[in-house]
Structure 1
Amino acid sequence: MQVNLSIVPDFPLTSLNTFGIEARAKRYLRIENAEQLQAALADPVLAAMPRLVLGGGSNVLLTGDFNGLVLHMALQGRAVLTGTDTHHHVRAAAGENWHAFVQWTVDQGLPGLENLSLIPGTVGAAPIQNIGAYGAETKDYFHSLTAFDPSSGQFVTMDREACRFAYRDSIFKQEAGRNLIIVDVTFALPKAWTPNVRYAELAQAVAAQGIATPSARDVADTVIAVRRRKLPDPADIGNAGSFFKNPVVSADACERLLAQYPALVHHRQADGTEKLAAGWLIDQCGWKGRSLGKAGVYEKQALVLVNRGGATGADVQALAQAIQSDVNAKYGVVLEPEPVFV
């Protein structure tokens, strides 16, 4: 079967990254079906080019023009599948908007993903980053995914174990899986659902509404309200959400920090380590609301770096490095960026 590949040269990427960084790609291809993807990477010229896979561009920092092929994953489709006695199974194509997909599952009476409402990006990006918020992560509801392996030219199915999920991490960010391209994702949503309001801020926001037994829609709407109150809309001001991971340190290291900084925000992990609040560390170093050139730190949330207007990737990178340097100098803690630098 002949597959039409509409390759666009010198393509602007400003609308394909939520930071709103101005950059261009040498070649661009919008992928709307799996056959296009397979055909494109079977072409020896295209396959030999440096490759960047983009969905919503919400977890990438473009540091310059991309001298290669951008594959824009725009595959659409979502469906309720045959599940099990304990779980509903739902599948969505990689190009589906994540927030719209989550709201659709809630509207279908299939709860589970509501704590992950209003996270920017696409469904295909969710497993890569193992996105998480308000006491939930992708891995908690993940069943399997389909990915294209350019090295073999074949599609593969991967379960949770194969994806090697960790905190804001997966095999897709590691050498073993960096070249795999996610085509669709299937989630397992519990039939015996109970609201997840373990996260203190969410529990307080639900209680403030006088809701004793929240529904999935109550949880989703509350998460949306909290996020809108704290975080900037990329449509209004360029950003990639939380820019740094919350650092994890040993219990001993945390104790030493607490002795010097009793107000240190920390959360004990199941393995005995302590997760520190990166936003608190950045705020204490005086960066909240500050700018460095055309890039800055959001006034309402120190974990979010923003494009004040006309910032380049180098501007954002310089700001991030300055913040990392100050936090490391004061607390001896290394902050790791969440976005991929390209």
Structure 2
Amino acid sequence: MHSLQSLHTFALPSRCRELVRIEVPEQLTHIDFDTPFFILGEGSNCIFLEDFHGTVVLVANRGIEVTETELHYTVKAGAGENWHQLVLKLLDMGIGGLENLALIPGTVGAAPVQNIGAYGVELADVFDSLTGYNIDTKAFETLDKVACQFGYRDSTFKGALQGRFVITQVVLKLPKQWRPVLNYGPLKDLVGQSVNAKDVAERVMQIRRSKLPDPNVCANAGSFFKNPVVSKETARKLCEQYADMPVYPVSELTVKLAAGWLIEQAGLKGHRIGGIRVYDKQALVLVNDQQGRGTELLNMIAYIQQAVSEKFAIALIPEVRLVAQQGEWVQGDNYG
């Protein structure tokens, strides 16, 4: 058995039967995917609830290549590259476009799975294509943006291709005509100022560091729940009761609510169950600060969901992927 505690940032004590580190994509052709397996990057958006009875495939292939046309930069990055380090490298090269996504933990290969996003920008906004290994066809394939079916914190890799496709390279397309995106939350303070991409990145990093604990210091998996998307009518009724409730536009018919605000208003900041605690600076974050257990985490999730549902009639859904003995766990499954 191989310990997984240091391979996922929530750091629950857990192990797996086999651990395979992928340095070259072709290694994937030699793995037996007929037995239980889980694809892992830096473990910042998944939590192993208990020992995993299978093979963990650690994607660690590296490499960054930048080419350009008259209008765009094309960035090809290996799936094992650290996302934040890629953002910083491009900024140092004078290439903007990813600055709103600075300091998001995890690998480049994990970014499309979640369609990572922050401060008004999503990966889908800068995405061109990706390459990966299709487990069913036993061949490497390239998928464009349409094929990836991006949605809010969603993609085909959480749907039809979940557990059937291993991303090995991501291609981004960044316009040379840079325009800051400053219409979301605290970044509005920069509107009207003369800023460059590094300035925006610095502000984003400052904000994130003030709200989110460093997983190297305090074990956590970042934002734990998805921000719920509701109808404008539902939001309007809630705003009549809670005038200061944050609301963000999504479409003509829907808006997004702040899950952290809902949890805080339910009075759960600092709430503890065993070794699991709601972070006192940002209620959207759960932390493992006393050698917590998977059962305690599941109890905390259910407690938060019930409290928010009773107060607001809003259902919260975990953004973090939970892994049990045989694979990914979803609510309603038996545990253990």
Q: Do the structures match in fold with TM over 0.5?
A: yes
CA positional deviation for 1:84: 3.7
Aligned residue identity for 1:50: P
Residue 6 of structure 1: aligned partner:
none
CA positional deviation for 1:293: 1.2
Tell me the distance in 1 between the aligned counterparts of 2:48 and 2:295. 8
Tell me the distance in 2 between the aligned counterparts of 1:181 and 1:29. 13
Residue 159 of structure 1: aligned partner:
144
Residue 32 of structure 1: aligned partner:
23
Quick check: 1:111–1:193 contact (8 Å CA) kept in 2?
A: yes
1:260 partnered with 2:241: yes
Tell me the distance in 2 between the aligned counterparts of 1:158 and 1:175. 13
Aligned residue identity for 1:107: D
Equivalences for 1:66-81 in 2 at 5 Å? 66-81=52-67
> 2:128 is paired with a residue of what secondary structure?
strand
Quick check: 2:17–2:53 contact (8 Å CA) kept in 1?
A: yes
Tell me the distance in 2 between the aligned counterparts of 1:334 and 1:200. 23
**TM-score normalized with structure 2 length:** 0.93
Tell me the distance in 1 between the aligned counterparts of 2:287 and 2:162. 30
> 1:158 is paired with a residue of what secondary structure?
strand
Residue 187 of structure 1: aligned partner:
172
Quick check: 1:295–1:305 contact (8 Å CA) kept in 2?
A: yes
1:293 partnered with 2:278: no
Tell me the distance in 1 between the aligned counterparts of 2:231 and 2:143. 32
Quick check: 1:285–1:326 contact (8 Å CA) kept in 2?
A: yes
Residue-by-residue CA offset, 1:36-95 (whole Å, 9 max, x unaligned): 11122xxxxx222101000010111211110001000011111103x4432110011001
Q: Give % identity.
A: 46
Tell me the distance in 2 between the aligned counterparts of 1:31 and 1:51. 14
Tell me the distance in 1 between the aligned counterparts of 2:243 and 2:200. 32
1:341–1:177 Cα change, 3 Å: closer
Residue 246 of structure 1: aligned partner:
227
Aligned residues: 323
1:109 partnered with 2:94: yes
Tell me the distance in 1 between the aligned counterparts of 2:298 and 2:108. 26
1:320 partnered with 2:306: no
Residue-by-residue CA offset, 1:172-213 (whole Å, 9 max, x unaligned): 001344411100101000111112222230232x47xxx921
**TM-score normalized with structure 1 length:** 0.92
1:303 aligns with one of 276, 280, 284: 284
Residue 140 of structure 1: aligned partner:
125
Quick check: 1:171–1:178 contact (8 Å CA) kept in 2?
A: no
Give structure 2 stretches of 5+ with no counterpart.
Answer: 324-336
Give structure 1 stretches of 5+ with no counterpart.
Answer: 1-9, 41-45
Tell me the distance in 2 between the aligned counterparts of 1:86 and 1:177. 34
Tell me the distance in 2 between the aligned counterparts of 1:200 and 1:284. 19
Quick check: 2:274–2:290 contact (8 Å CA) kept in 1?
A: no
